[in-house]
Each structure stands twice: as C-alpha cells, then as structure tokens.
Structure 1
Amino acid sequence: MTSSKIQQSLNLIADPEDEAVQSHLKALQNELEELHDEGYLFQPEIYSEDECVKLANSLNAKIQQISASLVRACCGSPGNLSSMSKSKISADDLLQIQTIRPLIGKLAVEFFLDSPSSQHTGSSDNRKYMYIIRCAIQTTLAALCGEIINAWSFNKEENKMLSSIYNSLRNQFDNSALTGTWRSLTRSQSKIPEYHHLKPAAIRSYIAETAKVLVLSGYISWNLDDTQGIIQEYFEEEFADLYNYCFRLDRVTGESIQAFDTEVYRPEPGEAYEHASMYNMDSSTKSSNSSSSTTKIAFSCRLGLLKIGTIKPENGGSEPEDEILLKAGIQFASLLSDFETAIP
C-alpha cells in the first residue's frame, strides 16, 4: 500500500474546503504511512479473537445481570403482580415513552400498552410477563451499548465522515491490515478520548430508557420522573460499570473482530424465527455452512445474547455440546408472540 494510494482514497471522501477535516485526515495519513514503512500493518492483532469474545461475553453478562436486578427491585416477585392493578400512564409520560420504539420495536410498545391488567392472574403468566419485561430491558441496554461501540466517533458529522472513508478504503484495497489500522487510529484519536467526558450522558441514557420500559410495563406505581430517580439512586454505579465494559471492548475491537459469528441450530418447526432476522447483513464474514447446510443458520452474535439451551451430541458422542444463542431482540419478539397466542 503506497502513500499515494492512501491519499487518493482519502481525497475521494474529504471535503477540500474543510480545513479541520483536512488536518485530521493528514494526521491519520501520516501515522498510516509511518506504520506501513515499519511493517506494522502486517503484524498480527495485539488482541486475539478469544480475548475479544471474552470481553463481549462479560458485557453480555453485565447486561443480563442489570436487567434481572432491575425487574426484581422494581417489580418484585411474580406473586406481587397478581395483586396489583395495572398503573395508568399519563399523557406526558406516554409521549416520552413512545420514543423507545427504535430500541424495542413498535410491536413491543403496542403489546405493553394493550395488555389488560386482568390478563395476568396466574402465577405462570405473571412469571413469564416479568421475564418479558426483563428481556425488554435487556434488548434496550444491548441496543444502547451496541450504538456506543459501533460508532466511529461520538460527533455525528465526524462519525459519518470516518465511516465513509473506511468503506472507501475497504472497497478499493483488499487489505485488512490497512483497514484494521485505520479503525484503531480513528478510535484512538476521535472516540476513545471522549469516553470519560461522555460517560455521564451515557449513564443518563441507560437510566432514561430502562425507566421507559418499566413504566410502559404498567406494573410499577411511579411516574417516569420518579422511576428515573429511583433507578439512578440504586443503579447508577451498575450503569457506570456497564459503560466501562463498553469502553474496554471498544478499545480492543479490530478489523478481524468486526462481528462475532457463530452457528446455531435452526429452530424447531413452528417457531417464529426468520432467516433474514437471524443473519447480520453488516457482517463481512459468513459461515461455510450458511449456504449449504439445512440444519444450521449462520448469524452474528451481537450484544445481549441469552443462552437458551444446548444441543447434545448425536449418537452419544463425547463432543462438547453446542450452545443455542439468540439475539435478545429475536427472543423478545418470540416471547411476545407466544404470550399473546396463549391468551384465550
């Protein structure tokens, strides 16, 4: 990769009239050229894929732990739900809650709003309804963490510019070492330094969005402002830790760890999972079985996964069992569908 080719690619995207953009890109270009001259671009990744996966699993576990703790603390036990009437949501709160649709989906919002209090009278239904609330919170936190980690920059315009440059480099030059180094440099210059500064805003976002889910569920007696205050009082440190987990994973994410891919067995007939929703179209890696196998589906293990079971080896073999992992959003949608179907 020559410096002229690097400059040619950058010029395709950069605005020649924007001095700040040109200065920023020039600094990145100089670093790329120095690293290229030293042969650094072709050295192995500093962090292994296993290390990145461990960090991702730690983040997933933290999301699950916070979600379960929030439901236990705010909603109590399943038995408590049967003795409570569903709280009415004020018009002002409802207007704010509607903004959560991009995170959990329109179907979920309608499910919670249309769910009558008389519907949840049995212990089994109450337990499942609380689990649905937990999955909604988990889906929300997974989406928020994903937005933080996937961004190139916390500045909207810079994020758009850096993303365009990356796509240009990737399309023109089949060189993962170059694009991986570009990813690392842009994160270190444009994003990582802002993590500490933006931490309070991220924590407020975690609190605000999870409060919306809890109020939307109808089984807490507080309004939206009170719910946010209670969550902040008891869970602010937990959300600070969650943000730190995002920071650690973001720092080590390189080109070869663009997505975490795995294989899961196709759901049983009748289960509501679509192939399109199980596969991450943004991933550059595809399983060798994705086109030929009839028993497996390849998809990207994004944030917020739940382990819902295992597949035992065939013919009593001694091979390790395969974990069945589903995106939080997929399992959440399935729970909503199953719960509504079971209601007479």
Structure 2
Amino acid sequence: MSSLTRFGGRLTVRLQSLTRPQVVVLMLVVVLVAGIWTAAGTGHQGLAVSLVAALLLGVLLGILHLSRWMGGMHRANQAANRDLRTVVEQMQRRVVATVEKERLTAGDRHQDLSRTITRGLRQNGHGHDLLLRSQSREFEAMFQLFQEFTPRAPMPSSGDFALNPTDLLELLHIVRLHQPQLVVELGSGTSSVWLGYALEKIGGRLISLDHDEDYAARTRTMLEAHGLGAVVEVRTAPLTELLLDGRAYQWYDREQLKDVRDVDLLVIDGPPAATGPDARFPALHAMESKLAPTATIVLDDANRADEQDAVRRWTENITGLVSEPHLIGRHAVLSYSRSGAKVSV
C-alpha cells in the first residue's frame, strides 16, 4: 500500500511539472483510450478501430515531432561545438602569439642587458685606467709643488672644491712667469695659501674675496699659521645683485674692491656654481676697469659648459682679451691688453 502511495505521489509531482501543451496531448490520449475502451465494450468495433488508428497516427506524429526536435537539438549542439572550437582555436593562436612575442622580447632584453653589462665592464675598466692616470698626474704635480716651497705649517687639502695639484702647479707657473705685483682671487681657500708662498718670493701681494664669512675666517687662520698674513688679505664680500645687460646676477659686493686697481693677475674661482647659472660670467665686466694695462686672467673649472660659454662671450665682447693655450689642469688662461696688443702668456 505504501508503494502505491509513493507511486501516486511521484506521478502527481510529474503531472504537475508538465507544460500546457504536454497536458493537452496527455488529455487527448486519455480521451482516445477511454473512447476505445467504451467503443469496444459497447460492441462498436468500427469506432474502436478508428479511435485506435487515430491514436496510432497521433503517436506517429509525436514521434516525428520528437525526431525533428532531437535533430534540431543535435544541429544546435554541433553549431555550438563548432563555435566553441573556433573560440578555443583563436585563444590558442593568441596565447601562442603572446608567448612567442614575450619570448622574443625576453631575448631582446637579454641581449640588451648583455650589451649593457659588457659596455659597463669596459667603461668600468676604462674608468679605473683614467682614475689611475689622473692620480698619477696629481701625485707628480704635488711633488713638484713641494719642491718649490717649504711650508711653515701643514698645507690645507687640495681637490674637491679646492684646486687640484695640477691646477695649482699651472697657476704658480703663471705667477713665476709673469711676476705679478697684485693678484686678485675670487674665492679663497687652499689656493690662497699656495699663492701667498709664491707671491712672498717675488714681493707681490694677494687680495682674496669670499662671500662666506666663516670660510673667509678659516682661510685667514690658515694664512696666519703659515705666516702669510702680510702677503694675503682676505676680504669678506657678500653676494649682491649685479645687473648686466638686463639680467640680474649674484656677485661679490664691489664696495670691497673700490680701492683696488692695476690688477696684474685675476684668478676667478667663484662664486660657486650653486649660486646660479653663469655665476662667474660677470667677473670680467666687473673687473675690467681694475686690471693693469696688461694682465692675465685665469678661470677655474673651464671644463664646465657655463665657464666655456663665459670665455666665448668675453673674448667676443671685450677688446684686447685673448684666450691662450694652457699647459695642464682645468683652467682657461686669457691675456688682456688695454691697448689691444697681444700679450704672451
């Protein structure tokens, strides 16, 4: 009994899940079957046979409809499979193309990296070679410097912001060659001490300007330690605005130079580059009237673009100023003649 109840329950659930067309077909089948039973039971054999024929025809039509539906489903599945294969093939081609592109890119990057490493190793080796040569030059210059003078106190360090030994050696060679009686130095420091010793031997004197009071004080202390206070005077000249051709520059306070004239040698080692672009360009325009009729100008850091441009503009615009060859170091050496005659350096 329980089995029959469960069967009835399942049948009820399935009947409830039928669609409306399925319910209509099921009702027609039930009506036909009931009609066949009724006709057969009442002796109407012809009607029963007709109803059976109608039922068979309906079954046949249902089978044909089901066959067509299944065929459509099969064709739809085939089309979906073809579309899926097309999508998969396209994805495969894209993946393969992407992998190949990345492989080629990785190969190119590997080659670039290899070339960069190789170039770096070559440059590193070349840099070491240049460094060793530079160190050799500086050592040789230092030996020559100390052969010229016997310091009375420890000498300040050279290099970095101060002049290198090669620069100092050429500067002192210019002093020995021209025997200047008055030297003006823009930017004090190590060079002030070396110039002091060189000028002490020939009876000259040095005026050194510095915009930094603390640095100027340290330079004065060094000079006193070397007994050069009577030869070298360090003046503090703060940077002030100087207008030149409509452009404002930060340059030394010219009030500190109002008593200076007949400068035989001008050494331009300031203001610092950090002051601004073309920081040293105003020097000759501010100092030209204070130069002796024939004078020599030495510009430090002439390997830099601003200083090279300053030399070009000076020689183009200042009459009697000529750029001269230099021996060693990073100086630019210029000769000045107020009469316009060439001065040998």
> What range is the shorter-chain TM-score in?
under 0.3
Bigger relative contact order (CA 8 A; separation at least 6):
1
Normalised by the size of structure 1, how large is the TM-score?
Answer: 0.20
More strand per residue: 1 or 2?
A: 2
TM-score by length of 2: 0.20
Pair member with larger Rg: 2
Query: Normalized per residue, which structure has more helix?
Result: 1
